Structure 1
Amino acid sequence: MSQSISAQSLDHSTLHHNVQGFQNVGMQPKQAGSFFGAMKTWLTAERNQPKPQVELPVHSIDMDELQATEQDRVYRLGHSSMLLKLDGQLILLDPVFSERASPVSFAGPKRFHPAPTSLEQLPYIDWVMISHDHYDHLDKASIKALKNKVGHFVVPLRVGDYLRDWGVADDKIVELDWWQSFKVNGIEVHATPTQHFSGRCLLDRNQTLWASYVIQSSRQNIYFSGDSGYFDGFKAIGERFGPFDLAMVETGAYSEQWADIHMLPEQSVQAAKDLQAKAMLPIHNSTFDLAMHDWYEPLERARTHAAALIQALVTPEMGQGLDLSNLPAQTPWWHAYMPAEAQTTGELAVSR
């Protein structure tokens, strides 16, 4: 395998850098409004089912079969954690294997379902890619467990400092700014903008960059959104790098109070259209309770709007492997796990 590595700037701009850290271009997000307003909404929100009341379907991933197949494949591991096989290489996106998306193990949002595989079962991983430093995307325990069996960690600017503190070798870490790229062994990754923010405590707001990724192999052109509000960057990315065979787009943990940093499902589908995605896979849902909507609402609203916009949707169950060269039509698997009244009436309580 070739070990030649190249990194180049495609269109480097410093508009998103300032003396305090990083910022979005053209706007500053409200980031959920006031604390008291957000708490009031959380406490008074009417929800049918914040968490599933029965076990959700989870497929155990056969690692021997995964390593043996020559297919390009995609697996949902939960929330925004994804496993790809492209050109024989394994890529992990935002791996979160911990029980909670939290700075502590005893409190915070808890998983609805187990991961389809364990950290111990994972074979050698060629790439780990992190979109930003929030706890539901950058998981310290997962990184520490993976550090000795990963070829390269690709992260936005300054996120690499966390990895170094957690024992990841410096020569494994590639930090990218927006519109920069990295290529090794025939796969090229481009870091692209999102409209979001960063920080793991109250004192480090926006000290690291946030990003989405374009992943290009010999047969596939893939997009991974990370977290973002809806913005014109999706169209710019689509014009530069599209069309995409698959776009994994954030669809969950939203509210109209913070729509500038977390898209509503209808905006997520429009983002897929802007990206020129042949198929959209909704991520950032069905694993943690992080907002004021029912657990199944993101998928159902995306399904409805995708039908209206004639956008192909792919909705695998957790751990279900899909052949990227022959993606199936979406299956609304969540219908069987929704509350009985929602299944009977077809009503959907939309959070605001």
Structure 2
Amino acid sequence: MTVRRDPHSVLASDQKASTKVTPAKFKNAHALREPGFLKTLGIAFKFFFSKPKNTEPAGSIPVMELTREELLTAPDNTLYRLGHSTLLMKMQGVFWLTDPVFSERASPFQWMGPKRFHHAPISIADLPPIKAVILSHDHYDHLDHAAILQLADKVEHFITPTGVGDRLIAWGLPAEKIQQLAWWQSTSIKGLENAVELVATPAQHFSGRSLRDRDQTLWASWTILNQDQRIFFSGDSGYFTGFKEIGDKYGPFDLTLIETGAYDKQWPDVHMQPEESLQAHLDLRGKRLLPIHNGTFDLALHAWHEPFDRIVDLAQRHQVKISTPMMGEAVDIAEAQAGQRWWLEQLPATQATNKVTNKARPKIASLYSVIAEQ
């Protein structure tokens, strides 16, 4: 596995590659607009005492169960959405996993915090060996401590932004399994018929797992180059000019996996409104859009189904090909199918007329969150 950095790309002075988290904070290309202390208190009050009831589904989220045998016999270039920003991809006969979150709650505590709307389509124990885990940043809804420990023995490589890998080492993972990259650095995963190149591309967000470690690790999006196929994974990001820069450098992308959820006008620079998600896809010169970061946790004040409603409507109006698979549904990376509007099954006005007919799908009790990441 080799690391390469584009000599023509510019990194912020404190975003050099390193093997250790330094006290210096990482920075975005532009300063974020952030609420002050009083506004933050107001947001917290809304989360705890006056959240709309429709931020959580009233019924069960449909999940298509997966088995190890099904994954092993699946064709190459198949993708499965496991929930939130956790995606399992099969490329060149091996498996790749993004931001694996399998715990019941996206929280430092399993007795409080945002609780899953649905279980994962497959357990960690049933997963086949994983060639690489690709991490975007260290927030609890993207970096799951329990999942990382359970995955440690079945994963060959952990690819992280600078500093995030040091967290994994502190948790007991072998340093030789971990590769940390700064923006615009790339690494080639070999031992395959054709090497897969992973590029840590910029994102506009922040990091931290406590009140005292804000921005001490880097956040990133990822460009995945598999033979003649190009995939973009956004991680978390507000809309910024970096999407066009990535698109100009690595586009067009066959599939863009772009966050569309947990947005609000009160934190405009760290998550995208659906209109911005669509624009990011266009900036990246994407051929097909698969919206992520939705449908699993209650992390904002909008209706839980709103991200799907808005992004699908926008895609149709702008003639953008969009894929909205159910959790666990197989997707062809090269020709991602549109998918059913499965979330309509959960809405009171349409529940009687929009039933999904997969008899094998289990019914899952509704889950409710009590705190939010923001």
Would you say same fold, with TM above 0.5?
A: yes
Unmatched segments (≥5 aa) in structure 1: 345-352
- Give the counterpart letter for 1:337 in structure 2: Q
- Higher relative CO (Cα under 8 Å, sequence separation at least 6) belongs to 2
Provide the secondary structure at the position in 2 that maps to 1:235: helix
Deviation at 1:16, TM superposition (A): 5.9
Map 1:1-352; keep pairs closer than 5 Å.
5-10=1-6, 11-15=8-12, 17=14, 20-30=24-34, 34-42=39-47, 47=52, 49-185=54-190, 186-340=195-349
Taking a change above 3 Å as real, the CA distance of residues 312 and 285 of structure 1, as seen in their structure-2 partners, is same
Deviation at 1:43, TM superposition (A): 5.6
Indicate conservation of the 8 Å contact 1:90/1:126, yes or no. Answer: yes
Deviation at 1:51, TM superposition (A): 1.1
Provide the secondary structure at the position in 1 that maps to 2:54: coil
Give the TM-score taking structure 2 as reference length: 0.87
Deviation at 1:134, TM superposition (A): 0.2
Cα separation, 2, equivalents of 1:293 and 1:258: 13
Taking a change above 3 Å as real, the CA distance of residues 148 and 337 of structure 1, as seen in their structure-2 partners, is same
Q: What percent of counterpart residues are identical?
A: 46
Residue-pair matches, total? 340
Cα separation, 1, equivalents of 2:64 and 2:350: 27
Deviation at 1:36, TM superposition (A): 1.4
Root-mean-square deviation (Å)? 1.9
Cα separation, 2, equivalents of 1:329 and 1:252: 19
Indicate conservation of the 8 Å contact 1:178/1:192, yes or no. Answer: yes
Provide the secondary structure at the position in 2 that maps to 1:178: coil
Indicate conservation of the 8 Å contact 1:101/1:108, yes or no. Answer: yes
Deviation at 1:330, TM superposition (A): 3.9
Single out whichever of 66-75 and 323-332 deviates more from structure 2. Answer: 323-332
Indicate conservation of the 8 Å contact 1:16/1:24, yes or no. Answer: no
Taking a change above 3 Å as real, the CA distance of residues 223 and 262 of structure 1, as seen in their structure-2 partners, is same
Provide the secondary structure at the position in 2 that maps to 1:247: strand
Indicate conservation of the 8 Å contact 2:165/2:180, yes or no. Answer: yes
Runs of 4+ aligned structure 1 residues displaced above 4 Å come to 43-46, 341-344
Single out whichever of 199-208 and 28-37 deviates more from structure 2. Answer: 28-37
Provide the secondary structure at the position in 2 that maps to 1:237: helix
Single out whichever of 72-81 and 41-50 deviates more from structure 2. Answer: 41-50
